[in-house]
Amino acid sequence: MTSLVRVNGAKAMAASVALVFAVVAWMARDPLAPEPLPSLESLNVIVIVIDTFGSEHAGGFHNPGLDHTPALDRLAQRGVVFRSAFAPAPWTQPSVASLFTSLMPSQHGVKSFGDHLPEDVETLAAQLKARGFKTGAVISNQGLVSPFGFASGFDWYDQSSAKGHEAITSNDVTDTAISWVDRNRDSRFFLFAHYFDPHYQYHQHPEHDLSSGYDGPLRTGMSIRELRDRRTEMSRDDIDFLIALHREEIAYTDGQVGRLLDHLAATGLEERTLVVLTSDHGEEFMRHGWIGHTRTLYDELMRVPLIVSLPGAIAPGVSDAPVSILDILPTILELSESPPARPNWTGRSLLPILTGADAGDADREILGEVSYDMPARIKKDREKVARMTSLLVGDFKLIHDLIADEWKLFDLDADPEELTNLYDHDHPAVMRWRPVLERWEATRDRVGRDAPRRELSDAEIERLRGLGYVR
């Protein structure tokens, strides 16, 4: 089921299971005769990342019946929704570094706490800057601040909203993004806008009213450490309350992303601005015994929304082809009149899917990896240390825990929550795919790299402790 379902005429009816959309202006367009896409040289590019936003917590564009992301639903109406998109890692730094470079974490080297994105790795921003784009970013996660190398290639890097887990920052991110766009609208520009609010702590946004009616012991804004300490005694109502708070944060962020998108429309930029919206990872709420992220490779952490929109050029639609956020950089650069001659991308361009030329590869191998550890000076929070790899092909997913030397196999069609481990040496999927994953592990051990690790200052360690990242 990988064909791109175009939202037009009768096909819209077929797509409407997942896309309960209003009439789309694009319905008049003939999707069988796509015109060539405009070149990168005539466009602006905006990449929006909503931190900690797994597909299962998205609104109607992913989950029929949920209506808490109206702005993203409108963006999805105008663009192509990839319903099987994956992050390469279950936490921010490796995942965003992969988005910026189209490399897996073991290839760019940002794998663990304190790792610095190497200066010789070419980022999307650097490549767009070299092509004449003004490059700007507004970020709100302290893991993405410039000392970790993430500002590479940006002319302007606003990190004034990176305030920690208790702050609500999406309003400021949008204000800052809009004023930068207004200052640069006469140039071609690339904007990276990063929203942090759905990340823990989970704060109530009463105007979205998803969490009211709960009368258990949990409260809005509790620290992640307190929630984890209570996790073994949580009831289903408690967990649902946390999910409702998380979705209120998503709903609030949706409104702020909507303000940025509305601004593009109101100022005439929409039709010459390629917008990509995604996330760096999801969040787990006790499905596998944990709250938060970083320590497993289950789908609640790896499956993320991905919408690509260029109204007037890319016809709206839905794709179930398995894709990766590593594909974002190749998709953008392949739009260029002169794309890089010998790119070292691990992702692949989505343009054939976006133009309807190709349905995508249903059996594409999607890799995941995590190598989460603490700097040597920090007392280890042993429960959070993780070293795993995963391989998803079709409905089967293999997970290899390299610390415990344990394997797991899940059939995502029969068991989408990955609760029943089918691993057996004789299982056909194990016999077929375990050697593939082992070969990749051997390759990355041979040619992978370690990033330069920054020695964290006492003040930084204290801040991480305050954020619940370290004990």
- The dihedrals phi and psi of 185, each to the nearest 5 degrees, come to -70, -15
The nearest distance, CB 55 to Zn ion, in angstroms, is: 15
Calculate the CA 94 to chain-centre distance.
11
Which segment (88-96, 103-111, 127-135, 222-230) binds Zn ion by CB under 5 A?
88-96
Which segment (91-99, 234-242, 343-351, 445-453) binds Zn ion by CB under 5 A?
91-99
92 scored as a contact of Zn ion (CB under 5 A): yes
The nearest distance, CB 138 to Zn ion, in angstroms, is: 16
211 scored as a contact of Zn ion (CB under 5 A): no
- CA distance readout (Å), 50 to 135, 199, 352: 19, 9, 26
Select 198 or 255, whichever has its Cβ closest to Zn ion.
Answer: 198
- Contacts to Zn ion from residues 261-320, by CB under 5 A: 280
Select 254 or 280, whichever has its Cβ closest to Zn ion.
Answer: 280
Select 107 or 141, whichever has its Cβ closest to Zn ion.
Answer: 141
Select 282 or 448, whichever has its Cβ closest to Zn ion.
Answer: 282
176 scored as a contact of Zn ion (CB under 5 A): no
Which segment (47-55, 241-249, 347-355, 423-431) binds Zn ion by CB under 5 A?
47-55
DSSP bridge partners of 308 = 80, 276
The nearest distance, CB 199 to Zn ion, in angstroms, is: 6
115 scored as a contact of Zn ion (CB under 5 A): no
The nearest distance, CB 144 to Zn ion, in angstroms, is: 9
Token pair recorded at residue 410: 């899940």
The nearest distance, CB 381 to Zn ion, in angstroms, is: 17
- CA distance readout (Å), 193 to 114, 178, 393: 22, 10, 31
The nearest distance, CB 287 to Zn ion, in angstroms, is: 18
The nearest distance, CB 280 to Zn ion, in angstroms, is: 4
Among 43, 51, 82, 307, binds Zn ion (CB under 5 A): 51
The nearest distance, CB 308 to Zn ion, in angstroms, is: 21
The nearest distance, CB 281 to Zn ion, in angstroms, is: 5
Select 283 or 441, whichever has its Cβ closest to Zn ion.
Answer: 283
Select 51 or 56, whichever has its Cβ closest to Zn ion.
Answer: 51
* Single-letter code of the amino acid located at 167: A
Nearest to 197 by CA among 240, 256, 149, 258: 256
Shortest Cβ contact with Zn ion: which residue?
92
Select 52 or 84, whichever has its Cβ closest to Zn ion.
Answer: 52
Select 270 or 280, whichever has its Cβ closest to Zn ion.
Answer: 280
Which segment (86-94, 163-171, 374-382, 398-406) binds Zn ion by CB under 5 A?
86-94
**How many chain residues touch Zn ion (CB under 5 A)?**
3
Distance CA 437, CA 92 (A): 23
Select 166 or 361, whichever has its Cβ closest to Zn ion.
Answer: 166
Q: Cis ω on the peptide bond leading into residue 77 (within 30° of 0)?
A: no
Which segment (39-47, 85-93, 175-183, 327-335) binds Zn ion by CB under 5 A?
85-93
254 scored as a contact of Zn ion (CB under 5 A): no
- The dihedrals phi and psi of 14, each to the nearest 5 degrees, come to -65, -35
Pairing status of strand 134-138 against strand 156-158: parallel
- Contacts to Zn ion from residues 365-424, by CB under 5 A: none
The nearest distance, CB 139 to Zn ion, in angstroms, is: 11
**Is 396 in contact with 429 (CB distance < 8 Å)?**
yes
Select 149 or 316, whichever has its Cβ closest to Zn ion.
Answer: 149
- CA distance readout (Å), 25 to 36, 79, 263, 347: 19, 12, 19, 32
Which segment (45-53, 183-191, 317-325, 413-421) binds Zn ion by CB under 5 A?
45-53
The nearest distance, CB 279 to Zn ion, in angstroms, is: 8
The length of the chain in residues reads 471
Select 77 or 95, whichever has its Cβ closest to Zn ion.
Answer: 95
Give the residues lining the site for Zn ion (CB under 5 A). Answer: 51, 92, 280
